[in-house]
Amino acid sequence: MQEDKMKRSSTKKVTKTLLAFKAARLSLGLNRRQAAERCDCSIRALEQLENGRCNYTEDRIRRLIRKMGMEWDEFHKIENSPEKALAQINAYNLERTLSRKPRRNLYKIVTKEVRAIRILRKRRGVSQYKASELCGFKDCTFGLIEAGRTDLSDGRIDKILGSLGYKRQDFDKIVRADLIADEVINEITSLLELLDDSTLHSTLTMIKALAKK
């Protein structure tokens, strides 16, 4: 179901919350088109929101943030200092632009290594911002890593694993697996949310039968 249209405001007012919303989107490595697809709204509606040209509620912002793939506590931390978050993102992009290396931030490559890092971070129950803090990175770094918009060298992988309390074999086990169980479980959970009560009951019976094999 598409997100409700946002009521157009008669005045333009870019609040701290809206600045934080833009910073959150950029830290996730999403352009407006990609964010709009996740939020089930139009690019125009998202543009109006970020430019302060429509009214919004906290509940609406919560829904959009969740749909984009960020936890509310992560967003709240950005909201405390959105200008700082935007400055860090802009500085990162400028650094990559001036580098002689290929501009990785212009495209998105979510490798199996990146997916493994995301899974291990979630198993620890820490947000992207908290993970960046534990690793001694800039606040937006983990978001860019998981979005596939920055390099993930062996040295950086070792740094992340050590900071999150993992060993290299924990990482290698996920990367070498033909099937990543965490991702399959998440996909199944998302599909289950679409089923009615009767179908859920039948599905539960089937899963129980499979688990006994």
The DSSP symbol for 106 reads G
pLDDT at 61: 92
With b for 16 or more beta-carbon neighbours within 10 A and e for fewer, the 1-34 pattern comes to eebeebeeeeeeeeeeebbbbbbbbbbbbbebeb
Question: Which has the closest alpha carbon to 139: 22, 28, 49, 33?
Answer: 28
Q: pLDDT of 161-171, one tens digit each?
A: 999 999 999 99
- Residue 103 — left, alpha, or beta (φ > 0 → left; ψ -120 to 50 → alpha)? beta
Question: Which has the closest alpha carbon to 63: 32, 27, 21?
Answer: 21
Q: pLDDT of 152-207, one tens digit each?
A: 888 999 999 999 999 999 999 998 888 777 777 777 887 888 888 888 888 888 88
CATH number, domain 16-94, options 3.40.50.20, 3.40.50.300, 1.10.540.10, 1.10.260.40: 1.10.260.40
Q: pLDDT of 63-120, one tens digit each?
A: 999 888 888 888 888 888 888 888 877 766 655 554 444 444 444 567 889 889 999 9
Q: Measured between alpha carbons, how far is 89 from 20 in angstroms, rounded to an integer?
A: 12
Q: Does domain 103-176 have CATH number 3.30.420.40?
A: no
Question: Which has the closest alpha carbon to 166: 206, 126, 207, 110?
Answer: 126
**If you average pLDDT over residues 107-134, what whole number do you get?**
86
- Residue 125 — left, alpha, or beta (φ > 0 → left; ψ -120 to 50 → alpha)? left
Domain range annotation of the chain: 16-94, 103-176, 181-211
The answer to whether the 16-94 and 103-176 domains have the same CATH topology is yes
Cβ atoms < 10 Å from Cβ of 63: 15
What is the reported pTM? 0.53
